[in-house]
Structure 1
Amino acid sequence: MSANGIIQETELIDAATRWLGERMPDTWIVERAKRDPINVAEPGVDDLIELRAPNGTYSTVAVEARAAMEPRDVDRLLTGIARSLRALAGYVPLLIVAPWLSGRTRELLAGQNVNYLDLTGNALLKLDNPAVFIQSDGAARNPNPEPRKPASIRGPRAARLIRLLVDVRPPYGVTEIASAADVNPGYVSRLLDALDRDALITRGRRGVVDTVDVPALLRAWASDYDVFKRELVTTYVAPAGAATALAKLADTSMRTTVTGSFAAVRLAPVAAPSLLAIYCEDPRTTAEDLGLLPADDGANVTLLRPFDDVVWERVTVSDGVSFAAASQVAVDCLTGNGRMPAEGEAVLGWMAENEDQWRQASLPARPLR
């Protein structure tokens, strides 16, 4: 390691030690450990921090300092240092220290029971003896980002790509994805790189997508997407009720597909739906066909102009009414208000347990529709 690297590592560990010490009672001692009674340093950790309670009990925490850590690095960590520590001493608490850790990185670390601390105040530390629990939120965005411009998962092209990754089982390569989603291969490559860095997908030889973390990918998409806050949304009242308007969709003259609560309840009931959300090509004609009245307040029907033709892909039809694909329903609910995010999570749970019912086995030779 270069001299600069050693200085940065030392500064990170010193800062973490101070941060923890400031948050413990005055009677506790928090310091860099002066001893290594169980040879924790052998697996290659950077240092040890000791937390000592006034009754004499103490815990030695193995510290791994990183100048940067991306979500994809978590897997490498767990197959290296963390595994070695657990093999060496049953369970030795591991603390990752970095200048900043993204929300996805923190989520993955917490999911593997790995403690973390960044210098903006994002922290999670759980110790059994002495009992310690610290959790805090710091910066949501990197205060010192790298010059690299991250790929956005906002917009129609990203929607087509994400829907394909979710709706079709891998493996598939860049060229196959680009053809099936009708997206430029260069854009596909850049977006896959970004998704791989965030551990939302895994890639094998020659960049082929091997696995997709479906719930995490749809949640990430939802954070950059909001179907109910666009200018192409109009709201109405169905005088006879939203359920009656739903039944009339079978006879409408326009192409439509139902999303949101009324689509979610068919897959994973949470509560009786009240707001009917419909993608439609012509809101005015659809409203006339369904007998809807314009309304800003008290609306029970929302008509949505499609942001892209992807909303028509992989729909299902029941009693003459078209319902959006499970992936589209999930993300639309996740970005809604009220109980809709809970409905979206319920759909994600249904998707995990019923993959054979909604996920295609392979890509077709032509663009998906």
Structure 2
Amino acid sequence: MTRNSTQRGTVPPHQFAEALVSVLRATLPNSWLVTTEPDSRHDFTVRGVAPDGTTAVFAVQVKSRIEPRDVSRIAAAARDRHSGALVVASPFVSPMTRRRLAEEGIGWFDLMGNLRLMIDRPSVFIDRQGADRGPERDPADRRLKSLRGTGSARVVLDLCAEALPIGVRELAERAEVGAATSARVLELLAREAVLDRGAQGQVTAVRKQALIRRWTQDYGLTRSNALSSVIDPRGLGTVLEKLRESRQRYVITGSAAAHAYLPSGVVPVAPLMTLVVYAENPAVLMRAANLRETSRGANMLLGSPFDDLVYARSRTVDGLTYADPAQVVADLLTGPGRAPEEAEQLLATLAAEDAGWAA
């Protein structure tokens, strides 16, 4: 029987069964009959009967905790034991874990409001978004949980840019962080299944797209950088010309950077509406370019970056300085308007040039 041992403080399977049935009864039409029953291969089975008698059945496995690196093993075991729909239930299923489960065709349910159920016959698809943050964690679990902070950011961006394989200490030196920071970040990223490590602990492969997506759970364009809304009534072309003449350090990120990195002939998914610029001295740049802060109608976001690393990893294209593509992707994924769509287009371009960006 493939049940978790019920440890002190964990939620027993029967409570998950009650909670899941309650959610399904509230989600499906009132005419459906939803029940649970024991399952010798899983923790329990849910059966939904429609008014015409057609039946939807799926198995549920309860996990006291599930991390992205667990998903491949769960999927392989499920294929050996069960050919129908499977849902993994846990107190919390993180965004990265959900992404991996979706890739394997497995649904999920957690006590934070997240539910995904996919059944082919009869056709049932439920996708409910809940919290992206879990409940209070065990204080005895001292593993790194977050990629907030400059140390984590330096490791993440270095892993996207430099050659592999690489060990903990070499990565720490390259990213200019402490060895302890390097080790803890790599341990977290291994749990999140965004990189592979060899027998000696060295990083042998990085799934760069997954890595940046995981970073953006803790990093955001406007919440991690000191940015102000700015307007230039003359238009963004004037600002770009001023930047070409500027003698201070700056980098362009966001939509303008995405446009610069697209291959010739590729039409951007969105026009340039907002220019995002990190500057060493934003006040000086504002005076030089005759910009002013505004509460509405802004066509720029201007300010200081979370770390001077953005300057060190910049690139020059046609006389303008742009942030590293990995930084641009992160800023777009967490940016306003259609920025996330632009991130997806840039990711497709990066993946065509480097297989490491494909996943």
Tell me the residue number matched to 2:312: 313
Q: Give the CA deviation at 1:25.
A: 4.3
Question: 54, 65, 69: which is aligned to 1:68?
Answer: 65
SS at structure 1 position matched to 2:277: strand
Inter-CA distance 162–53: structure 2 relative to 1 (3 Å threshold): same
Q: Which amino acid aligns with 1:317?
A: T
Q: Map 1:87-236 to 2 at 5 A.
A: 91-147=83-139, 148-149=141-142, 150-229=144-223, 232-236=226-230
| Higher alpha-carbon Rg | 1
Tell me the residue number matched to 1:328: 327
SS at structure 1 position matched to 2:12: helix
Q: In 2, Cα distance between the equivalents of 1:19 and 1:265?
A: 44
Tell me the residue number matched to 1:31: 35
The answer to whether the 8 A contact 1:250-1:319 is kept is: no
Q: Which amino acid aligns with 1:328?
A: Q
Q: Give the CA deviation at 1:113.
A: 1.4
The answer to whether the 8 A contact 2:314-2:322 is kept is: yes
SS at structure 1 position matched to 2:216: helix
Q: In 1, Cα distance between the equivalents of 2:154 and 2:348?
A: 22
Q: Percent identity?
A: 34
Q: Which amino acid aligns with 2:351?
A: A
The answer to whether the 8 A contact 1:33-1:60 is kept is: no
Count of residue pairs the alignment pairs up: 345
Q: Which deviates more from structure 2 when the two are superposed, residues 44-53 or residues 174-183? A: 44-53
The answer to whether the 8 A contact 1:313-1:325 is kept is: no
Inter-CA distance 2–274: structure 2 relative to 1 (3 Å threshold): closer
The answer to whether the 8 A contact 1:85-1:92 is kept is: no
Tell me the residue number matched to 1:364: none
Question: 292, 295, 304: which is aligned to 2:293?
Answer: 295
Q: In 1, Cα distance between the equivalents of 2:253 and 2:261?
A: 12
TM-score (norm: length of structure 1) = 0.81
Q: In 1, Cα distance between the equivalents of 2:73 and 2:86?
A: 14
TM-score (norm: length of structure 2) = 0.83
Q: Which amino acid aligns with 1:68?
A: R
Q: In 2, Cα distance between the equivalents of 1:65 and 1:352?
A: 35
Q: Which amino acid aligns with 2:343?
A: G
Q: Which deviates more from structure 2 when the two are superposed, residues 317-326 or residues 8-17? A: 8-17
Inter-CA distance 207–66: structure 2 relative to 1 (3 Å threshold): same
Q: Give the CA deviation at 1:160.
A: 0.9
Inter-CA distance 18–337: structure 2 relative to 1 (3 Å threshold): closer
Q: In 1, Cα distance between the equivalents of 2:220 and 2:5?
A: 47
Query: What are structure 1's unaligned runs of at least 5 residues?
Result: 360-369
Q: In 1, Cα distance between the equivalents of 2:131 and 2:253?
A: 34
How far does the alpha carbon of each residue in 1:329-368 deviate from its partner, in whole angstroms, 9 at most, with x for none?
1112222212223222322222222228x99xxxxxxxxx
Tell me the residue number matched to 2:74: 77
How far does the alpha carbon of each residue in 1:197-238 deviate from its partner, in whole angstroms, 9 at most, with x for none?
222323332322233232232223233223335674345443
Q: In 2, Cα distance between the equivalents of 1:327 and 1:286?
A: 25
The answer to whether the 8 A contact 2:61-2:89 is kept is: yes
Q: Which deviates more from structure 2 when the two are superposed, residues 24-33 or residues 257-266? A: 24-33
SS at structure 1 position matched to 2:205: strand
Q: Give the CA deviation at 1:181.
A: 0.2
Inter-CA distance 23–316: structure 2 relative to 1 (3 Å threshold): closer
Query: What are structure 2's unaligned runs of at least 5 residues?
Result: 263-267
Q: In 1, Cα distance between the equivalents of 2:331 and 2:30?
A: 49
